[in-house]
Structure 1
């Protein structure tokens, strides 16, 4: 049946997105049979109305092109006949089929009643790791021909080729996976699910053997996993110190770079000496290596040789999961292909990043009643036939709910009794890690698991990449929040679940296990005591620190810092309540373990719903326990880091103690790395593109606890020719950013500049509030409305990821971005040509954290602005400007609208730390456009 079907793959171009107001201007059909395109049809259509400007820009179809084309009435009968008896296919079938039927209805013809498939959702299921699911994304991902996106003839042929790929992919799936897809209560557009059923029927008839790389465990087809072979070190391998040796090693794979080679040799020399200090923080290797130098390979290659020679592991820590994946890939491909010895890298993350097979198997048999969750299950079923790591970050899930993903990553109630024991992905990574030279982690992971990564008998090497971000990661990791009302609500929810005895419920489960009634009483007693103690602790906090306090109201809430001495005394005064909570939480944990054991040993058959109910109850008690541990952490921080910790209370403006939140953690990293991280490793390598805030500043060394005197320090020069590739324009007549008219002024300037230049532009802000204001002003500007420019705003029009994707694939995009756009964004060439700094990146001065840091520095006799505020701004500004030039052939311009870079004394420091050969110009705003036009014209001449 599958081979005989004729699929009519249809694409429409229309004047508008709704059939009520729009008309078709082009239709194309590609006919597919037996996985081949057997025929095609395409025609322009005269809509007898004006084609909107944005449609002309998108499709390239102009009014002149359709002027002599037939009307829909003229070809409707032919199209109807062509499509009759086929299976209708479209990339977003819920648009094309209803729109076409509306046109048939308009001209008095019968609407098509066809089986219809949607290639968008089918693609999302069969390629769950694809980077995007627009037609242009998928044709690129699958290397399909797609010459003219957004023109129906090209789109229909591309969608036809995509349909063939979808069928081929489904035919390669094992029968058990296809059966699971069919059994899932999936709701897909039109009849898309029927394709799974047809492929399953064909697969059952053929009965192909299970592919060798797969195995079936308890009804799930997964990739095989076996313990890795022991890593074989090769001794007496000579390090390629000379240029000729490196070029011979690289062969045709890599290009020799002089500055990169110097970095490699400096690292190898530093760690080959016997005089390295064993004192934490001493003998560090510190290197500022600019973008474009190839610093990643610059540190990976020498450490591969060092690890091989010394039989040590190398821990590489990156600021983001994306960089973590990239470095792992570089080691396992680039390094692996050139080195004369075996090299392996494993990426390590926390448990929440990995699918738990037992939890997923249970979820397949539960219909949560949510279409999106069933869809995610379908994606995971296919993904399991591909993935070795089971890392959720591999997936591009649609509408993923964090609570649902948390369920899928939670451990089994009885791990050793699970049929998947020994196959779970989280455990796989740690097995692989034992036979790898490189363990690649992110900064948050290092902050939490430094002691586990280290080896006291054979200390690993430690490379901290983009090290300027590590202190912030540690601080964020250390800072905890206890929303007291949420904690109390979860305790009360647990009480209600125990009291319920309807099926499925914990109360009913307790009735059916040995000693269940006694266990139920223990659970209730502990929960009720905790439920009584939490409000007393909450009221005590409020009375001691907030009652009668007059605090300025800001944005619906206010914060108050707690003096550490007073806070320590508070815990002493409230020790009875705290100890009572602690004791009952321990009893809860014991009761839960007994419950899990009795549940596993019970001979009674429990339903799937009851098993899920127990898993949810376990997770609820775990969260209650985790909140209790925050109390211990707060007290421990007071003991371990009394001078480096800060605590504060957040309350609503209405002074209602029920909204109280207690927060705290490290204020700064004074001695943190010396005590918690460095003792577990060899002296660290500190590396990054922007480490230093001035030629004399000790900011980096203070924050990372590095001993400057014993460190080996290297500054590598910029590799880009900024004098030719870039230009910095500083507007000298702009109003101050604090001026009430600044946002309106900036919005008008951005519209004038971007509509004149028509280049992809990134505008960097310090706050989402200002982005919202500027975005609104820009949207109301008539000049923008009449232009080709599309404005995207973080927090308004989409997430960082979606906005970045559009910048990578579209033109005339202007992005308004805040914190996450200042760094970690790689947009080379036409993806980004103009960078605008709306406001210098200083931290907000009115937060509890900022005020507390200032107070500490002042008490030490230091100037907070020059010791903290300015260095942070310098780093952030350098990172922001680093977004622009990414390759030796790249070019672009920068505009700074914050006049303080010219008028304030610290402006000189900021300007001095920018690339040395970057041309800097002071201009009035009326000269900006002509200057930019001259610059870009000059660049175009050189191409």
Structure 2
């Protein structure tokens, strides 16, 4: 008799099941098995499961094993391309091989990740003289292009995604020439999409998940309807990513580049068919007049926009400027529409202009209730921004039919959302509310680590107040430097602001200089992956390492073992109150009688703190100290709630206890964990896969 999914998964995770036979270091863990069983049940009956799985649970196996055994098509979305590659290149092949199932795996990234052969060919025909360094890099791409099967630029070491070269040799939706392209048959984007649609398991990332949904570009939008299981890993990043895509951004820079491309296109394909110079000139003039309306504010200003115009600007002048651009753009579009019959090549240009016009029109309407709008004034440009306050509505649309505002997911489909941090209450409301998952089943799986013995939380009793910025940063640098000196490096300092990053980074670099055997790395002074590689390597040529970093290093950074033993967090990571999104969310809560601080600021800080603290203990054999250099954790009433969000570490507060904890780490006393040597550490590593 064929086993049902529940029994198959139970057998896989058992003491002598096939996982322990296939994975030399596997050993059953109650939390991992519990999560796997819950995932299996959701896959069998359909519905939504939200799982917070503490560090070390091994959540990757918990969702992969039931998904692979289910026989359904699976789409997995994770936060970054690096995590995507890890799943595709490491975790999935191992499990598929162990299972002996003939499953096809694919990975799909956004357009900007793939080489465009048409654009590569155009580089050398460019009228603009290119920098010799850029040309050398293009030549490297050219060499690589002959041998690559995927066209994924991630295969090329040392090519940064944000580099000018990447932009030259990849396509966007706007500049892709479509099926008229000479390389259409060998197009890497098309090949990747075709493979994704044929695969049993496809790995995507959150950016692509939302980008494709919004523009209905072929890719994820075609994939989702055919999937029986959708897994969203690192789900705590979903709301932030979704908001970027569900929002509108319209800038005068976009309009200017449209004018530039339009001039090139009509000169080539529709010369003399209309008075293009006059039409483009009128649009350019309208943009300049509109830009002048917002131009009086200093660059970098963000103006609140609650009424018809952004605050401090004349309503009449603003409306005149916006309508002027609209009229000029419409006149250009009408001319393009008339010539499109004979000059087909201008159709993509017309469509792009029509998208810009409809965005412009949406900014002429009042601000929707569930959104926030603001204007960013830059040196030469204006950026109009609108963002929803949460992705609840967007997710409900993606997940199936919506009735009376409630999501009713396709009953046959299973949606699994998981991360190490999804809330600091039993219902995980921080996550479920922002994603509109009111009726989801919720499961919390505790970390298997023994935090009482593995980690110490130090909140200094006597320390400058965070409000005294300069004194506070200096004290943090002093404390982190003392710790690093005692441990020979092994220290990660996480700051909440760029100002603190600069102050603490420069003070530590002065302290350790050339003559101390410690390298001080500061975020921004090198590519993230290079900083991470150096930090992970630990002691190199007798030199230890300190890394000072801000926002992007608070999560997703995995440094197991002795390379990291001290994490110093400078301040409680509350959201910046002057950020337009933060302000608007606070206002929205006040309107319905809820507390912006208690219901929004505090949970946000708790989640960020939990993420930062999660960098310290990654394996059963890790030991370390977490310092939160913010006395509010002791003195304020809300401190207790924030401490409860952290793993249950032993707490200390005196300088003497701090020095004793450092000494214990230094002499390896704290690491005296009998019978759990190197093999145990590696075992946990190979199994976690998260």
For residues 145 and 224 of structure 2, what CA distance do their matches in structure 1 show? 37
Aligned to 1:478: 246
Helix, strand or coil for the counterpart of 1:939?
coil
Residue pairs, 1:758-773, within 5 angstroms: 758-773=488-503
For residues 329 and 264 of structure 1, what CA distance do their matches in structure 2 show? 22
- Specify every segment of 5 or more residues in structure 2 that has no aligned partner in the other structure, as ranges: 402-408, 678-690
For residues 244 and 563 of structure 1, what CA distance do their matches in structure 2 show? 56
Aligned to 1:297: 61
Indicate if the aligned counterparts of 2:518 and 2:546 stay in contact, CA closer than 8 A. yes
Indicate if the aligned counterparts of 2:286 and 2:321 stay in contact, CA closer than 8 A. no
For residues 102 and 250 of structure 2, what CA distance do their matches in structure 1 show? 47
* Cα gap change, 1:907 to 1:251, in 2 (>3 Å): closer
Q: Deviations over 1:559-617 (max 9, x none)?
A: 22111566899898878536524424534765896797579xxxxxxxxxxxxxxxxxx
Please point out which of 371, 395, 412 is paired with 1:673.
395
Residues 1:738 and 2:467 aligned together: yes
Helix, strand or coil for the counterpart of 2:169?
helix
* Cα gap change, 1:362 to 1:575, in 2 (>3 Å): closer
What is the CA distance between 1:837 and its match in structure 2? 0.9
Q: Deviations over 1:17-46 (max 9, x none)?
A: xxxxxxxxxxxxxxxxxxxxxxxxxxxxxx
Helix, strand or coil for the counterpart of 2:583?
helix
Helix, strand or coil for the counterpart of 2:75?
strand
Indicate if the aligned counterparts of 2:283 and 2:328 stay in contact, CA closer than 8 A. yes
Higher relative contact order (CA 8 A, sep 6+): 2
Q: Deviations over 1:693-746 (max 9, x none)?
A: 233662222111111xx4322111211222222222111111111114111222
Indicate if the aligned counterparts of 2:474 and 2:507 stay in contact, CA closer than 8 A. yes
RMSD: 3.5
Residue pairs, 1:744-893, within 5 angstroms: 744-781=474-511, 786-795=515-524, 797-811=525-539, 812-893=544-625
Q: Deviations over 1:402-440 (max 9, x none)?
A: 443223122787554544221110000111122212222
For residues 85 and 464 of structure 2, what CA distance do their matches in structure 1 show? 43
Indicate if the aligned counterparts of 1:448 and 1:477 stay in contact, CA closer than 8 A. yes
Indicate if the aligned counterparts of 1:833 and 1:892 stay in contact, CA closer than 8 A. yes
Aligned to 2:36: 264
Helix, strand or coil for the counterpart of 1:482?
strand
What is the CA distance between 1:349 and its match in structure 2? 2.0
Helix, strand or coil for the counterpart of 2:621?
coil
What is the CA distance between 1:874 and its match in structure 2? 0.8
State the aligned residue count: 642
Residues 1:663 and 2:372 aligned together: no
What is the CA distance between 1:355 and its match in structure 2? 0.7
- Specify every segment of 5 or more residues in structure 1 that has no aligned partner in the other structure, as ranges: 1-233, 277-282, 499-505, 511-515, 600-617
Please point out which of 691, 703, 707 is paired with 2:422.
691
* Cα gap change, 1:494 to 1:745, in 2 (>3 Å): same
* Cα gap change, 1:434 to 1:479, in 2 (>3 Å): closer
Please point out which of 305, 310, 326 is paired with 1:562.
305
For residues 595 and 580 of structure 1, what CA distance do their matches in structure 2 show? 25
What is the CA distance between 1:805 and its match in structure 2? 1.4
Helix, strand or coil for the counterpart of 1:662?
strand
For residues 639 and 507 of structure 2, what CA distance do their matches in structure 1 show? 29
For residues 302 and 807 of structure 1, what CA distance do their matches in structure 2 show? 36
For residues 378 and 329 of structure 1, what CA distance do their matches in structure 2 show? 27
Deviates more, 1:328-337 or 1:361-370: 361-370
For residues 939 and 253 of structure 1, what CA distance do their matches in structure 2 show? 33
* Cα gap change, 1:477 to 1:491, in 2 (>3 Å): closer
Aligned to 1:53: none
Please point out which of 157, 172, 185 is paired with 1:396.
157
Residues 1:900 and 2:610 aligned together: no
Please point out which of 633, 644, 660 is paired with 1:912.
644
* Cα gap change, 1:628 to 1:677, in 2 (>3 Å): farther
Please point out which of 252, 270, 279 is paired with 1:526.
279
* Cα gap change, 1:875 to 1:626, in 2 (>3 Å): same
For residues 566 and 634 of structure 1, what CA distance do their matches in structure 2 show? 9
Residues 1:346 and 2:68 aligned together: no
For residues 455 and 660 of structure 1, what CA distance do their matches in structure 2 show? 37
Please point out which of 94, 107, 113 is paired with 1:334.
94
TM-score by length of 2: 0.83
Aligned to 1:437: 200
Indicate if the aligned counterparts of 1:318 and 1:464 stay in contact, CA closer than 8 A. yes
For residues 341 and 488 of structure 2, what CA distance do their matches in structure 1 show? 67
Indicate if the aligned counterparts of 2:290 and 2:322 stay in contact, CA closer than 8 A. no
Please point out which of 371, 392, 399 is paired with 1:645.
371
Residues 1:314 and 2:57 aligned together: no
* Cα gap change, 1:490 to 1:903, in 2 (>3 Å): same
Q: Deviations over 1:121-172 (max 9, x none)?
A: xxxxxxxxxxxxxxxxxxxxxxxxxxxxxxxxxxxxxxxxxxxxxxxxxxxx
Aligned to 2:169: 408
Helix, strand or coil for the counterpart of 1:884?
coil
Indicate if the aligned counterparts of 1:757 and 1:929 stay in contact, CA closer than 8 A. no
Indicate if the aligned counterparts of 1:693 and 1:875 stay in contact, CA closer than 8 A. yes
Indicate if the aligned counterparts of 2:291 and 2:381 stay in contact, CA closer than 8 A. no
Helix, strand or coil for the counterpart of 1:814?
strand
Residue pairs, 1:585-664, within 5 angstroms: 585-587=332-334, 590=337, 597=344, 627-628=356-357, 630-632=359-361, 634=363, 642-651=368-377, 659-664=381-386
For residues 340 and 150 of structure 2, what CA distance do their matches in structure 1 show? 29
Aligned to 2:134: 373
Residues 1:448 and 2:448 aligned together: no
* Cα gap change, 1:238 to 1:388, in 2 (>3 Å): farther
For residues 530 and 837 of structure 1, what CA distance do their matches in structure 2 show? 50
Residue pairs, 1:681-720, within 5 angstroms: 682-695=413-426, 698-707=429-438, 710-720=439-449
For residues 676 and 564 of structure 1, what CA distance do their matches in structure 2 show? 31
Please point out which of 17, 22, 31 is paired with 1:253.
22
For residues 355 and 595 of structure 1, what CA distance do their matches in structure 2 show? 31
